């Protein structure tokens, strides 16, 4: 796993997303090929935007409660939180460039 991202779990999830600094949560699983595609880009985005954006990984196999409360029904799903609220959601793998342009409003 990338050294620039953090791991979040069901317990403490609310605290993890409460910050005014946007937190991008990556819902993933070991068996999900397209999720692996996102590892590199997410690690790079986290590294290049440290202080502006936190990138957190949540394993859906191990954290069913969070997956359920945000009705994640397909992975990879990325949800951007700020101040505890869901701001944006991205379903499906995408390139680093695409993700950066979609996140632009939050990376100022």
Partner 1 sequence: MAEKVLIIGSGPAGLTAAIYAARAELEPLMIEGVERGGQLMITTDVENYPGFSDGIMGPELMEQMRKQAERFGTRIVSSDVTAVDFSEQPFKVSVGSDEYTADSIIISTGASARWLGIEGEARLRGYGVSACATCDGFFFKEKELIVVGGGDTAMEEALFLTKFASKVTIIHRRDEFRASPIMVKRAVNHPNIDIIWDSVVEEVLGDTLVTGALIRNVKTDEVTTFNADGIFIAIGHVPNTKVFDGVLDLDDTGYIVTEPGTPVTSITGVFAAGDVTDKIYRQAVTAAGMGCQAALDAARFLDETT
Please give the positions annotated as active site.
Answer: 32, 35
Closest CA to 8 of 40, 48, 54: 54
Q: Six-digit token pair at 26? A: 């990556």
Q: For residue 10, give the DSSP letter.
A: S
Give the rounded distance of the alpha carbon of 46 from its chain centre: 10
86: preceding bond cis by omega (within 30 degrees): no
Nearer to partner 1, 20 or 97 (CB): 97
Nearer to partner 1, 71 or 108 (CB): 71
Give the nearest distance from C-beta 37 to partner 1 in angstroms.
5
Binding residues for partner 1 (CB under 8 A)? 29, 31-34, 36-37, 40-41, 60-61, 67, 71-75, 77, 91-98
Give the nearest distance from C-beta 20 to partner 1 in angstroms.
27
């Amino acid at each position: 796993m990338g050294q620039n991202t953090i791991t979040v779990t069901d317990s403490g999830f609310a605290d993890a997303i409460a910050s005014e600094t946007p937190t991008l949560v990556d819902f993933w699983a070991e068996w999900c090929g397209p999720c692996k595609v996102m590892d590199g880009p997410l690690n790079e985005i986290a590294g290049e935007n440290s202080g502006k954006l936190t990138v957190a990984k949540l394993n859906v196999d191990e954290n069913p409660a969070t997956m359920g409360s945000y009705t994640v029904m397909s992975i990879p799903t990325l949800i951007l939180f700020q101040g505890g609220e869901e701001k944006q959601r991205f379903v499906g793998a995408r390139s680093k460039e695409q993700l950066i342009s979609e996140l632009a409003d939050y990376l100022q």
